[in-house]
Amino acid sequence: MAPDIINVAIASKPNAIVTTRPVNPPSRAYVTFLAGNGDYVKGVVGLMKGLRKVRSKYPLVVAVLPDVPKEHRKILVDQGCVVQEIEPVYLPENQTQFAMAYYVINYSKLRIWEFVEYEKMIYLDGDIQVYDNIDHLFDLPDGQFYAVMDCFCEKTCLPTYHDLLKTLQVTPPTPFAEQDFLNMYFRDIYCPIPPIYNLVLAMLWRHPKNIHLDHFKVVHYCTAGSKPWRYTGKEENMDREDIKMLVEKWWDIYNDESMDYKNFVATAVNTEPVDLRWFLAALPEAGTVHYITAPSAA
């Protein structure tokens, strides 16, 4: 039986794209973040296709700042992402004299606690790729903040969201921005999850004896020069066979047309009965767009 959906037209607002949205969206979701008009959208597309390849049951919500262009939003919607615009989070002017755009981009990620339509969310950076199904992380007991760097699982909650923003206003910014802030805020309930959920590529040469590539479920291409869509092999520590293999592995997923939303849905419909409601999720009406000057979330 086909899912109940609400059909709406393309919005007239500059960066708002609206397609179909499920009446009863899943109560869990992955979430990532995008800012600016750079090439980071490729990373998010790769992440969406990676989640699809490992047969995740849950949608990918992309929290976008207002300066993400309409063309990039359409790319994400066409790949089955749920695109949700958020307003930037600004620190008091006396808190940051330099690198304001950096702090706006990173602290704006706190807005995801406002997505209360989802009971629980797992945050993944846009330069992460998932090589094994990690849906089981949603089943971890409530009451803890489960995390490794740039990957965490937490219940959404408006009181927590408001307290996060209130606390942020009186907390001096630090070099690692929202990562340091969340470590401080959730220090009493923080619970680390195993590093197999976040292989940072620098570990390959810093702790090679501890790395078994076939054991890792999640790879984080955050090390300078390692982002697959920018990779040349000329950057420091990048001319390595293991790095080249992981970059090629990312591209295999990104270039796999069978993992494109339209092809995957068509194949699923023709082969087996599956619940496609979350695939039909799309961009809610974004509201008024206020542009800010900020670089892409690189």
Contacts of 248 (CB under 8 A, 6+ apart): none
Least confident of 138-152, 166-180, 190-204, 268-282: 268-282
Q: What's the whole-model pTM score?
A: 0.75
Q: Is residue 260 part of a domain?
A: yes
Q: Is residue 177 part of a domain?
A: yes
Q: Is residue 21 part of a domain?
A: no
Residues that are catalytic: 109
Q: Is residue 283 part of a domain?
A: no
Q: Is residue 6 part of a domain?
A: no
CATH number at residue 254: 3.90.550.10
Are the beta carbons of 219 and 226 closer than 8 angstroms? Answer: no
The per-residue pLDDT for range 24-48, each reduced to its tens digit, is 556 899 999 999 999 999 999 999 9
Q: Count Cβ atoms below 10 Å from residue 139 Cβ, excluding itself.
A: 9
Binned at pLDDT 50, 70 and 90, residue 157 comes out as low
- Hey, CA dihedral for 28, 123, 210, 192, is it positive or negative? negative
Are the beta carbons of 89 and 108 closer than 8 angstroms? Answer: yes
CA terminus-to-terminus distance, the chain: 42
Are the beta carbons of 41 and 76 closer than 8 angstroms? Answer: yes
More confident residue, 105 or 51: 51
- Over residues 254-279, the mean pLDDT reads 72
Q: Is residue 290 part of a domain?
A: no
Tokens 């990562």 found at: 179
Q: Is residue 243 part of a domain?
A: yes
Are the beta carbons of 125 and 167 closer than 8 angstroms? Answer: no
Residue % of the chain over a pLDDT of 90: 38
Enter the DSSP assignment of 97.
S
Residue span of the structural domain in which 222 resides:
28-267
Q: What is the count of structural domains for the chain?
A: 1
The per-residue pLDDT for range 169-202, each reduced to its tens digit, is 767 776 666 677 777 777 777 777 888 898 888 8
Are the beta carbons of 21 and 279 closer than 8 angstroms? Answer: no
Q: Is residue 291 part of a domain?
A: no
